[in-house]
């Protein structure tokens, strides 16, 4: 895994050091080229003047001219060099070092110069020649005036003859010395620059990575329980995104925790209530000693009711837990919803009759859907049970089934007591019951709709409840005909 700090450090280092290196090489190379060019031009000009003098004094045939010799000496001293003067027969007539006089000097450069070319070569310093030198060959030219070719006009034209070649080599020591100095100085400068860049890079890497460290530390604090509130807002957009996401996670965790605590509290309370009643009933019986057997019977039947209640609460709770656990693997099959409705209503009708409520079923079409049959039964029976339970005398419950090409809809409409507006948002909460005292009479644990909603969302369906107090309640459930897995 790569570290952000190291990455920032390397990037700044590269961005800083590479231009510094290029700049240094460029400056030194540029200096050398310019200095050599300049020196060559100056020497070439001087030598051209000298070449003219050589012609004037006829030096190529007679090298005794003191003026030229003095001039030659001055130049060679000035540039720390050597001059060879070669005549047309490639014979060295003058060598300022006095070594090669009378010898033949043929080289490519000399022959080219005999054709009128001036040539210059810079031989860079190496191990054999410490300072480097510049070698130049310059033609010694004589210009004469001759009658023009079409000479009737009497015009004359200039003709140049190469009479000899001058070979000059002079040391580039001063240039090499300055170049070395420049190299040394720029190396020192570069080292200092690199040290500075490394420092700046390290500093920036630490500074730029600091917000990330802060976020990490804050998250560790939360993990180890040193803080539980939201993390402070950061100054960077990137870290702000992380912090926002983390704070949302924290909030979700908090809400989850709260609802879990509330759930546990509710469960304990609900489970305790029937137990308390049983205890009171049993204690009263014990205190009475030899009470009327009828009274015993009545109390025991009350105790039995409480046991049933406890049992139904535990059954509901288990259903809920099971649904949470198996949320991802429902047992899907093709189910004829019409048949399922018939079966469930047949089971519920005796209860409805007891409460003087009429239950009607209206199927607009045959519906076959991919559902979990057990869960679908739970949904239907919970809704119809509620519509019966929270109804009035001579009330009605209308169950209707319809479908389009994607969903089937199940409507359970009653003419019951209705749900107050402020309670509508809470009816799916576990253990929520609208009017505690009234609901107690009716009986129930407040888990039915929680289970129903859970089962509906497992089928990717929706549930909508509309209600008016003392008029009635309508529950509309819509479920896809074809089961869709969540992550498809």
Closest distance of CB 337 from Mg ion, Å: 21
411 close to 474: Cβ distance less than 8 angstroms: yes
Q: Which of residues 299-338 bind Mg ion (CB under 5 A)?
A: none
Both tokens of 112, joined, read 């080219």
- Please tell me the distance from the alpha carbon of residue 211 to that of residue 4, in angstroms, as a whole number: 12
For residue 50, the partner it binds in Mg ion, ligand ATP, none, with Cβ less than 5 to 8 A by kind, is: none
Beta carbon nearer to Mg ion, 90 or 432: 432
Report DSSP letters for 18-73, one per residue. Answer: HHHHHHHHHHHHHHHHHHHHHHHHHHHHHHHHHHHHHHHTTTTT-TT-HHHHHHHH
Closest distance of CB 216 from ligand ATP, Å: 44
Please identify which residue in 137, 234, 386, 452 interacts with Mg ion, judged by CB under 5 A: 386
Terminal-to-terminal C-alpha distance of the chain: 32
- Please tell me the distance from the alpha carbon of residue 122 to that of residue 136, in angstroms, as a whole number: 9
The CB density around residue 363, as the number of other CB atoms within 10 Å, is 15
Contact flags string 375-414 toward ligand ATP, x per CB under 6 A: -------x---xx--x-----------------------x
For residue 433, the partner it binds in Mg ion, ligand ATP, none, with Cβ less than 5 to 8 A by kind, is: ligand ATP
Beta carbon nearer to ligand ATP, 461 or 472: 472
Please identify which residue in 140, 341, 410, 417 interacts with ligand ATP, judged by CB under 6 A: 417
Beta carbon nearer to ligand ATP, 133 or 390: 390
Please identify which residue in 439, 460, 462, 481 interacts with ligand ATP, judged by CB under 6 A: 439
Please identify which residue in 415, 445, 454, 478 interacts with ligand ATP, judged by CB under 6 A: 445
Please identify which residue in 139, 395, 416, 461 interacts with ligand ATP, judged by CB under 6 A: 416
Q: What are the b/e assignments for 239-256, b being 16+ CB within 10 Å?
A: beebbeebbeebeeeeee
Q: Name the packing angle between helices 66-79 and 4-56 (round to 10°).
A: 170
- Max CA distance (Å), the chain: 172
Report DSSP letters for 402-467, one per residue. Answer: EE-SSEEEEEEEE-S----HHHHTTTTSTT--SSHHHHHHH---S-HHHHHHHHHHHTT-EEEEEE
476 close to 464: Cβ distance less than 8 angstroms: yes
Q: Which of residues 290-349 bind ligand ATP (CB under 6 A)?
A: 316
Q: Which of residues 447-486 bind Mg ion (CB under 5 A)?
A: 448
Q: What are the b/e assignments for 22-42, b being 16+ CB within 10 Å?
A: eebeeebeebbeebbeebbee
- Residue sitting closest to Mg ion (CB): 448
Q: Which of residues 435-454 bind Mg ion (CB under 5 A)?
A: 448
Q: Which of residues 240-279 bind Mg ion (CB under 5 A)?
A: none
For residue 111, which of 92, 137, 146, 141 has the smallest C-alpha distance?
Answer: 137
CA separation, residue 42 to residues 46, 49, 136, 141 (Å): 6, 11, 12, 19
Beta carbon nearer to Mg ion, 24 or 453: 453
Closest distance of CB 384 from Mg ion, Å: 10
Closest distance of CB 386 from Mg ion, Å: 4
- Please tell me the distance from the alpha carbon of residue 272 to that of residue 375, in angstroms, as a whole number: 28
**Helix or strand or coil: residue 299?**
helix
- Please tell me the distance from the alpha carbon of residue 75 to that of residue 220, in angstroms, as a whole number: 82
Beta carbon nearer to Mg ion, 8 or 427: 427
For residue 434, the partner it binds in Mg ion, ligand ATP, none, with Cβ less than 5 to 8 A by kind, is: ligand ATP
Element (H or E) spanning 473, and its range?
strand 472-480
DSSP 233: P
Is residue 444 near ligand ATP by the rule CB under 6 A?
yes
Beta carbon nearer to ligand ATP, 99 or 471: 471
Both tokens of 424, joined, read 């509508």
Is residue 473 near ligand ATP by the rule CB under 6 A?
yes
For residue 387, the partner it binds in ligand ATP, Mg ion, none, with Cβ less than 5 to 8 A by kind, is: ligand ATP
**Binding residues with ligand ATP: total (CB under 6 A):** 23
Beta carbon nearer to ligand ATP, 134 or 388: 388
Please identify which residue in 193, 371, 419, 458 interacts with ligand ATP, judged by CB under 6 A: 419
Residue 411 has, within 13 A of its CA and on its CB side, a CA count of 14
Beta carbon nearer to ligand ATP, 83 or 341: 341
Beta carbon nearer to ligand ATP, 369 or 388: 388
Beta carbon nearer to ligand ATP, 234 or 467: 467
Beta carbon nearer to Mg ion, 122 or 432: 432
Beta carbon nearer to Mg ion, 278 or 417: 417
Judged by CB under 5 A, which stretch of 28-36, 208-216, 259-267, 383-391 contacts Mg ion?
383-391
**Helix or strand or coil: residue 354?**
helix
- Please tell me the distance from the alpha carbon of residue 213 to that of residue 221, in angstroms, as a whole number: 12
Closest distance of CB 385 from Mg ion, Å: 6
The CB density around residue 413, as the number of other CB atoms within 10 Å, is 19
Is residue 57 near ligand ATP by the rule CB under 6 A?
no
Judged by CB under 6 A, which stretch of 45-53, 68-76, 268-276, 448-456 contacts ligand ATP?
448-456
Q: Give the footprint of ligand ATP on this chain (CB under 6 A).
A: 316, 382, 386-387, 390, 414, 416-419, 427, 432-434, 439, 444-450, 473
């Amino acid at each position: 895994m790569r570290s952000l700090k190291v990455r920032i450090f390397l990037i700044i280092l590269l961005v800083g050091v590479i231009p510094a290196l290029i700049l240094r090489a460029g400056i030194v190379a540029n200096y050398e080229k310019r200095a050599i060019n300049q020196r060559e031009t100056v020497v070439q000009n001087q030598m051209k003047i000298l070449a003219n003098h050589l012609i004037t004094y006829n030096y190529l045939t007679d090298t005794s001219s003191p003026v030229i010799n003095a001039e030659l000496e001055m130049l060679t001293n000035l540039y720390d060099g050597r001059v060879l003067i070669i005549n047309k027969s490639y014979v060295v007539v003058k060598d300022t070092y006095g070594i090669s006089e009378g010898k033949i000097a043929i080289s490519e450069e000399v022959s080219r110069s005999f054709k009128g070319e001036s040539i210059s070569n810079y031989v860079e310093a190496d191990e054999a020649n410490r300072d480097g030198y510049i070698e130049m060959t310059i033609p010694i030219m004589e210009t004469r005036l001759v009658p023009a070719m079409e000479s009737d006009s009497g015009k004359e034209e200039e003709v140049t003859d190469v009479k000899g070649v001058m070979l000059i080599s002079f040391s580039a020591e001063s240039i090499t010395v300055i170049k070395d100095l420049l190299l040394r100085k720029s190396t020192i400068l570069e080292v200092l620059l690199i040290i500075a860049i490394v420092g700046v890079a390290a500093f920036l890497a630490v500074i730029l990575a600091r917000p990330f460290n802060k976020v990490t530390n804050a998250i560790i604090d939360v993990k180890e329980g040193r803080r539980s509130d939201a993390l402070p807002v950061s100054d960077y957009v990137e870290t702000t995104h992380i912090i926002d996401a983390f704070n949302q996670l924290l909030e979700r965790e908090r809400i989850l925790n709260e609802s879990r605590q509330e759930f546990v509290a509710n469960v304990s309370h609900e489970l305790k209530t029937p137990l308390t009643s049983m205890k009171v009933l049993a204690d009263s019986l014990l205190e009475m000693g030899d009470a009327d057997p009828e009274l015993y019977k009545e109390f025991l039947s009350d105790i039995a009711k409480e046991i049933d209640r406890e049992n139904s609460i535990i059954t509901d709770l288990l259903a809920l837990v099971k649904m949470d656990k198996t949320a991802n693997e429902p047992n899907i099959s093709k189910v004829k919803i019409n048949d399922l409705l018939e079966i469930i209503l047949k089971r519920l009708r005796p209860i409805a009759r007891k409460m003087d409520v009429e239950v009607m079923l209206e199927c607009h079409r045959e519906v076959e859907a991919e559902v979990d049959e057990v869960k679908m039964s739970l949904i239907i029976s919970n809704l119809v049970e509620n519509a019966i339970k929270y109804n009035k005398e001579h009330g009605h419950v209308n169950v209707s089934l319809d479908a389009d090409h994607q969903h089937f809809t199940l409507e359970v409409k009653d003419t019951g007591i209705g749900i107050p507006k402020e309670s509508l948002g809470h009816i799916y909460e576990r253990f929520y019951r609208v009017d505690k005292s009234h609901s107690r009479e009716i009986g129930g644990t407040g888990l039915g709709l929680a289970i129903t909603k859970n089962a509906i969302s497992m089928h990717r369906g929706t549930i909508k409840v509309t209600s008016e107090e003392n008029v009635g309640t309508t529950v509309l459930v819509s479920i896809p005909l074809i089961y869709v897995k969540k992550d498809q």
